Structure 1
């Protein structure tokens, strides 16, 4: 196969012929079955859900990553750990933490303040070194 391709490339003399050979596809498209005419909007219509509303309200559909596993069931809120409900809470920015007294900050906010302050100092030092 490769030899036949090389022979056909050797016989090409013009750049137009080269573009025709190099631009041709050698794999099946797979998506042309359902298309009708131009535009390609024939297969883009929304499909009806095959899953009943009962299953949608009791399971996390699509969360299974195992080949032989099942989608996990939705549990009541009391079954989940407390920290889960605070993941999306807004945390104070560095400017707000600088305004507060560091002696009265809770440990997790103090840890965040140190991390953000170190990051800001490193960025400032890097900018100063880059200008010199």
Structure 2
């Protein structure tokens, strides 16, 4: 009798494990809501989720950099005339030549900044190539 009871207990425990695995699978499954009209008073998105118009005046927007303050007690910085900013600032977004373009030009004719960039990019490309060769071996 004891052997039969032990077998029944093991079967019950195995069943409970299987059931809990299935439950975990069902709970862990992500579901999506079916499209349709939202009920009145529901938490779904509606017209109230639309972006709200800014309450700042056009004058404040044009004279200050809104949101640039990083200090707790500070204020947003004022926008200065272009002549007050350094020259390098206006060239930050300029396109710089790629390594392939720099390789086509003669090294002697390159300005110092372009030569520095060429050396940096060429070293980087050589390191990547050596790493790839080592990885294959």
Do both proteins adopt the same fold according to a TM-score greater than 0.5, normalized to the shorter chain? yes
- Aligned-partner Cα distance in 2 for 1:69–1:113: 42
- Unpaired stretches in structure 2, ≥5 consecutive residues: 1-15, 29-39
- Aligned-pair distance for 1:43? 3.5
TM-score by length of 1: 0.72
Identify the residue that residue 63 of structure 2 maps to in structure 1.
58
Is 1:36–1:42's contact at 8 Å kept on the other side of the alignment?
no
Q: When you count helix as a share of all residues, which structure comes out higher?
A: 2
Q: Distance in 1 between matches of 2:95 and 2:127?
A: 25
- Which of these residues, 35, 49, 52, is aligned with residue 54 of structure 2? 49
Point out 4+ residue stretches in structure 1 off by more than 4 angstroms. Answer: none
Residues paired across the two proteins, number: 106
Gaps (5+ residues) in structure 1? Answer: 1-12, 24-34
TM-score relative to the length of structure 2: 0.69
Change beyond 3 A, Cα 1:106–1:70? same
The structure with more radius of gyration: 2
Does residue 94 of the first structure (1) align with residue 96 of the second (2)?
A: no
